[in-house]
Amino acid sequence: MPRQQQHGEDYPEQQQQYQEQQQHPLQERPQEQQQQSAPPRNPLKVFVCGDDSSGRSSLVALLTTGQFPEQSFRTLGIEVHQGTLDGRNGEGIPVAYWEGRGSAAHFSPGSLLGYSIGSDAVVVVYNPQLRGGAAARVKAYREATTGEPGRDVPTVVVAGRADLLSEAALAKIRNDDDWFPVSARTGMNVSRLRDWLAAHLQGRRDI
């Protein structure tokens, strides 16, 4: 009469593995399994407003996609576009560009402030070809978008579609750290705007 088999008697390798697991029940996982991807960071908010026909939408498209749009459409209300800027050590800074039509015909100063609340930076794009005082319009935009109590919001002013200006008109535009001409079509000073945004967003929310 055949003898009864004992548990594990005919499976020496499996029995040895079982015994080793019992002796070392808390084995560490391989390092690649322990590492977990960092949670995604919330994008920083950049509010972009300004005159109609200032090249604002094309500029935002270039900042987010790296390409000049062949077709442009009139902005209706507020549009949000996701993009990334190069931060220190090559780290990407996630950015949400809130673009809105800023003319007085569409937004009152109060509503502009409402949409710009929580912004980490503001970009005012004005049309230098419009008649009337550009300085007064820019002042109104700045006051309407940076008046949030208790917050110091960095603001840059750019003269859009500067490639359409004559040399004489271009020479009259203020050109310093926080105010300069740009052109999405030719790329004029677009990298300068990117650098400005990266520098001023770098210290926001511990980025």
Q: What is the CA radius of gyration of the chain?
A: 28
Tokens of 46: 């950049």
**Is the pLDDT reported for residue 191 higher than 50?**
yes
Instruction: Give the separation between CA 141 and CA 51, rounded to whole angstroms.
Output: 9
**Of the given ranges (102-106, 123-127, 175-179, 187-191), which has the lowest mean pLDDT?**
102-106
pLDDT higher than threshold 80 for residue 206: no
DSSP assignment, residue 19?
A: H
Q: Which pTM value belongs to this model?
A: 0.76
Q: Is a pLDDT exceeding 80 seen at residue 16?
A: no
DSSP state of 149: T
pLDDT tens across 64-92, in order?
999 999 876 666 678 899 999 998 777 88
Specify burial of residue 165 (Cβ count, 10 A radius: 0-12, 13-18, 19+).
middle
Report the C-alpha gap between 87 and 127 in whole angstroms.
Answer: 30
Residue 204's pLDDT is 74
101 contacts 108 by C-beta, under 8 angstroms:
no
- The structure tokens listed for 130 are 């419009």
* Close Cβ partners of 145 (under 8 Å, ≥ 6 residues apart): 47, 49, 112, 113, 116, 119, 122, 124, 153, 155
